[in-house]
Every structure is written in structure tokens, then in C-alpha cells.
Chains A and B, each alone.
Chain A
Amino acid sequence: MNTDTSAPRKLRVATVSLAGCFGCHMSFLDIDERLFELIEHITFDRSPLTDIKTVGPCDIGLIEGGLCNAENVEVLRAFRANCRVLVAVGACAITGGLPALRNHLDVGDMLQAVYGTVPDDPELPLPLNKVHPIHEVVRIDHSLPGCPPPADAFWQLLQDLIAGREPALNKGLIRYD
């Protein structure tokens, strides 16, 4: 006999910052006390906010930042493999963002200029030749534009996904700056 009368299963959400500044995560936290309501409906997998080291099967993956090095690409692919719905969050994930201003410079010259002797330990991920938006490497289901996206845009997206609706940003929640 099934005696389970508990609330519906919580959605599992993973988040990560690739070539990001953590500003999108801060804007996410700007939903303030609504976090208490949110945590009734979701539980966090790998995220800078948890201690989980590798991403497991999830309902939603929120990706902040573009791709600037080899580790970013590996992590992004792991998120795509594990997340049912993958969301590009912020200008960097969607366009490459301001870090992509380095794309007109030679990456070797840049490292030389900054370090003199360039760190070459194999533990360090090699930088990519150019910074790329994440949709150039994996399929993306939804995008939250903004640098960062407004807190209300995170709230709207998660409310829609929790309710099983196709996410739609109201006018005023779409901005690029």
C-alpha cells in the first residue's frame, strides 16, 4: 500500500560558473527571502553554494560564464550530459561577454605579457584560443540575458520550470547590460 502523501518530488538544480564572475549567482541570490520559498521546491546538486564535487542527474542546470579554458568545456559537457534542462545564464554564457574582448588578442602574447614566465603545470587547464559562448559547444534549452540577469528573471524562469510551463520572460526582464 502506498502511504506516501508527501509533496511532489523536489527538482534537482545544479549551478556552475565557468568563465564567469559569480555575478549571476549573486543576482540569483538577490531573490532574497524568496529563496526560502524556492527551497521548498528545489534541492541543489553541484553548485558553488554546495559541497558536491561532481554533477549528477539533475532537472535543471544553470550555467554562468562562457568557455575560456579546457576545464570549462569538460564541466559544460558534464552538465549537458546530466541536466534535463540546461540554461545559459548571463551575457558571458550567451555571447562570451566582456571576457571575449580578448578574442582579438593572441592568447600566448597575453599570458607572456601578464606572467613573463607562463605557468605550465599540467594541473592547470590550458586556455582556449578564443572565448566562446556555451551554445557553440552544447545544446542550450533556455537563456537568461543580462549582465547579470535581474533577480526577477531567475525567479520567473524557476517558477515556470517548477510549474512545468515553457519559460517566458516578461517585458522588462530581457536586458543585455
Chain B
Amino acid sequence: MSSFSFDGQPVPLQPGDTILQAAQRAGHEVPHLCWHPEVSSSASCRVCTVRVDGRPAAACTTAAAAGQRVDCHTADLRAQRLHLLQMLFVEGNHFCPGCEKSGHCLLQHQAERAGMTDLHYETLNPERPVDASHPDVLFEPNRCILCQLCVRASDELDGKQVFAIGGHGIGAHLLIDSASGRLGDSALSVEDRAAHICPVGALLPKRVGFAVPIGRRTFDDEETRG
């Protein structure tokens, strides 16, 4: 069977594999935010960036090929990941102490794993209004990291196309398909996959926050409450 090298370990590959898919199947952890096994890849977060034969590439969209040399857990890539995470934190209002996604949040989890202790950059203080118009789903745009998982889940799994990304540069934001632009007037249902796929605290089902005891949340482990 053909294989490539991942941090020096041989990883077998199957036809159509991306580097991320093959490495994960072989039991390697590849840090990521915007990748999800149920939907297509978008390579927007760049957290899964690896070096393929010395060149940077997003592991979630780069095809695995026999004989490739892939480096993932190196000092320079760790430093780059940390800075990407810090940029996402200062770009939004990520006040974890008051967020009901804390402990279940992939952004927070990746930052903890990256050893992030400070923000490094100046905070941008975005001021986007919360959309609480939907009876069962809340949208807090100041936590949105534009991963597009809700966009892809609505397109590919729900067949509803409720979401899109609009605007340019730092003004890019999540758009909602309804005449008013509000979630309550869209076709979104709390039963939709798109209502639950958000990796952070931006799109949240209502009335279920803070239900899981600290210590038993998704990313808690025995060390978390040490």
C-alpha cells in the first residue's frame, strides 16, 4: 500500500484522501477549526496548515500523495498556529467566562492546546448586533469565525441555503437568507444540522446553555479542573 510521511511516521493512504483525512485515520491529530467530516472542506481557518515537502499547505484541502513528506507538529508551525488563533480571538469578542459554549468550543480548545496565554494583538472590539429573532436559535456574530460550517451544512446537508458569507476584508460577515436578513425570517429550523455545527458560540440553540457541569463538558479532561 502507498504511503506518505507525517512527522516522520508512515501514513497509509487511500484514493481521494486529503492529508488531514489520511493522518486522522492513522491516529495523528491535525489541529483544525473549519474542517468537519460531514461537509466539504473550505480551508478558511488555516489552522491545519502543514508543510508538504517544505511548502505550506492546508491539510484539509491538499491531496495526499505517495512519498510526500508532511511536517505538522514543528516549532514554526506551532508558532504560526498560535498567532492565527490570537488573530481570531482579537477579531471577535471571545469572552469565554460568559459564553455558554465554553468547554464545548473548538476555538477555545485549539487555543488551550496551542498554549495561548495572551492575545498579543490589539483587540478590535467588533460591534455587530445579536440576532435573537429566531424562536429556537441565537446568532451572536461577534463570536463568528467565518469558518462557513453552517453555510456548508445548510447547503449540503439540509438543502436550505440559509447562510452565506458577504462583505469584504475585515467587514466580511455571515449573511442570512431572508428578506429582513434576520434568522427568525429564514427557513432555518432548530432540527437542521446547520443549527448545531457551529464550532464556537456564534450559532446556538436557545435555552440549553450551561446544562453540562464543569468537568464533563466536551473538551474537559481530568486536567482541566486541576
A residues bordering B, Cβ < 8 Å?
Answer: 88, 91, 94-98, 100-101, 103-104, 130, 132-133, 135-136, 140, 142-145, 147, 150, 152, 169-177
Contacts and interface: CB of A to CB of B under 8 A. Distances in A.
B190 interface: no
B196 to A, nearest CB: 21
A130 B124 CA distance: 11
Could you say which of A169, A170, A172 has the most chain B C-beta atoms within 10 Å of its C-beta? Answer: A172
Given A100-B125, A133-B123, A140-B118, A177 B102 contact: yes
B5 to A, nearest CB: 27
Interface string B92-120: 01111111001100001001100111111
A91 B95 contact: yes
B180 interface: no
Nearest to B126: A104
21 contacts: A91-B95, A94-B117, A96-B95, A98-B95, A100-B125, A103-B93, A133-B123, A135-B120, A136-B123, A143-B118, A145-B118, A150-B225, A171-B223, A172-B223, A174-B112, A174-B115, A175-B224, A176-B97, A176-B111, A177-B102, A177-B108
Could you say which of A104, A150, A170, A177 has the most chain B C-beta atoms within 10 Å of its C-beta? Answer: A177
The 5 closest A-B pairs by CB, nearest first: A172-B223, A147-B97, A176-B96, A143-B118, A177-B102
B163 interface: no
Interface string B123-164: 101010000000000000000000000000000000000000
A111 to B, nearest CB: 19
B191 interface: no
A96 B117 contact: no
B89 interface: yes
A54 B99 CA distance: 37
Given A95-B123, A152-B226, A176-B111, A100 B93 contact: yes
A103 B94 contact: no
Contacts of A171: 223
A173 B98 contact: no
Contacts of A169: 115, 117
A95 B226 contact: no
Contacts of B76: none
Given A94-B119, A98-B95, A147-B96, 16 more contacts: A88-B118, A91-B96, A94-B118, A97-B95, A98-B98, A100-B125, A101-B93, A132-B123, A135-B118, A135-B119, A142-B117, A143-B118, A145-B116, A169-B115, A175-B224, A176-B112
Nearest to B142: A104
A138 B224 CA distance: 30
A169 B114 CA distance: 12
A152 B95 CA distance: 22
Contacts of B226: 150, 152, 172-173
